Structure 1
């Protein structure tokens, strides 16, 4: 009884050895399509060659006032874009679906207030019109500033708690690098696939391909019901709190 088992094992081993000998490395090599050449920035954070520059420190040509779609008129000085709370939210002229976003922001060193009233703003990864409609990545001073954790910097507001808090102290620049995958809807308005966001905050992963429940809701749970949309602008929030306005710089996006 032992010999047939041994013989079977030997035959099986010979079969696999023969197959391995016939296989070639090039059988699993893929040569096309060839990825396009993209020249990276010379320093970390500098826009690569295929990026769309949304703010280069000189003007607001890529931005509109959300309220009336007139040219944006926040404050540009010294290569920095500072929120003007009297002018309301601004959004990009261009509309996007899936993209990679780089944006830097700074809370003033002289910031006052506490909780949500301390350097509050937001980056709406897809703007859905006036007010705060859209999908918000929270901007806030979260350096020794206690608030609800799904509303601190790095959170997808009221949905996803950040995996860490790498925020720098007021007066220092923070960096978000975001991968945004837009939601897809069926013809009847039902959801086909949810929006997803991956966020690096000062180089630290704080949102890992999180699947959003729907556009941001301040009160109540988010939902996609009745919210069918296509490509959308990116929006920056002029929050109504009374603390000193924060600033942005070096904003660019790569369409994916």
Structure 2
């Protein structure tokens, strides 16, 4: 794993700017009064500026192409596409990308129903019984309606169970939120609705201490993958995703 993350992260600011501000506008629209306007814009498409900057769609708005169930060779029926939204409608297990990613910038928009719980996994392996045994998680949650929302360590935008998210960032159940995950070498950032909610270094002393004090201590491969799948968690609740885009770094 690489250590020259400072230079790379500085360069990322320029790279995001090259997109013509499209990603940032989506974040701003999802962070307040612009939500309705954002819904009127074309969804699950790339602008010419995004294409030039290297962005790709992970969800085409029509099919589950590029996705499959965890430890399966197909996308389970419980994950389906409705009105351009990738949604969990029945028990299906976690959904993962067919492709693996190492260093990347990922953006997505999500919403949950009342009390809803899901998550976005990254650098996950299929070698364990469950995806969360290896993959860190960007928590997707209705903070106000789910017990996990009572703790910053397990609230929306947190690195689930390890790094707390600030209060008052997530929108209410049924409203759209924007997620951004940046992974370069060992360095990870979580952003929710335009605000950084978690930042950490995989493998650092601080990270290792937190893992030892958490439930993840029983899974020695947790957070150790240098490349792996992106995953969407089936936690038994309705969740909707759209505009899932990724830019591979390096």
**TM-score, normalization by structure 1:** 0.67
* Distance in 1, Cα, partners of 2:212 & 2:68: 23
- 1:59 is displaced (CA, Å) by 1.1
Structure 2 counterpart of 1:190? none
- 1:181 is displaced (CA, Å) by 2.6
* Distance in 2, Cα, partners of 1:162 & 1:86: 28
Greater fraction helix: 2
Give CA-to-partner distance per residue, 1:100-128, whole Å, 9 cap, x none: 000111112xx2xxxxxx21111112212
Given the superposition, is the C-alpha separation of residues 224 and 180 from structure 1 closer, same or farther in structure 2, using an over 3 Å criterion? Answer: farther
1:99 alignment partner, one of 90, 97, 104 = 104
Unaligned regions of 5+ residues in structure 2, if any?
1-13, 27-44
Given the superposition, is the C-alpha separation of residues 239 and 96 from structure 1 closer, same or farther in structure 2, using an over 3 Å criterion? Answer: same
2:169 is paired with a residue whose SS is: coil
Give CA-to-partner distance per residue, 1:149-177, whole Å, 9 cap, x none: 20111110110001343111111100111
Contact 1:66–1:89 (CA under 8 A) maintained in structure 2: yes
Contact 2:57–2:246 (CA under 8 A) maintained in structure 1: yes
Structure 2 counterpart of 1:88? 93
2:198 is paired with a residue whose SS is: strand
1:150 is paired with a residue whose SS is: helix
* Distance in 1, Cα, partners of 2:218 & 2:198: 19
The number of residue pairs the alignment matches comes to 198
1:92 is paired with a residue whose SS is: strand
1:189-200 to structure 2, matched below 5 A, reads 195-200=186-191
2:118 alignment partner, one of 112, 116, 121 = 121
Structure 2 counterpart of 1:141? 142
**Considering only CA atoms, is the larger Rg found in Structure 1 or Structure 2?**
1
- 1:220 is displaced (CA, Å) by 2.7
- 1:207 is displaced (CA, Å) by 1.5
- 1:39 is displaced (CA, Å) by 4.4
CA RMSD in angstroms, aligned pairs only: 3.0
- 1:217 is displaced (CA, Å) by 9.0
Structure 2 counterpart of 1:204? 195
1:134-213 to structure 2, matched below 5 A, reads 134-143=135-144, 146-182=149-185, 195-208=186-199, 210-212=200-202, 213=207
Given the superposition, is the C-alpha separation of residues 101 and 223 from structure 1 closer, same or farther in structure 2, using an over 3 Å criterion? Answer: farther
Unaligned regions of 5+ residues in structure 1, if any?
1-34, 112-117, 183-194
1:70 alignment partner, one of 70, 74, 77 = 74
Residues 1:233 and 2:229 aligned together: yes
Residues 1:245 and 2:242 aligned together: no
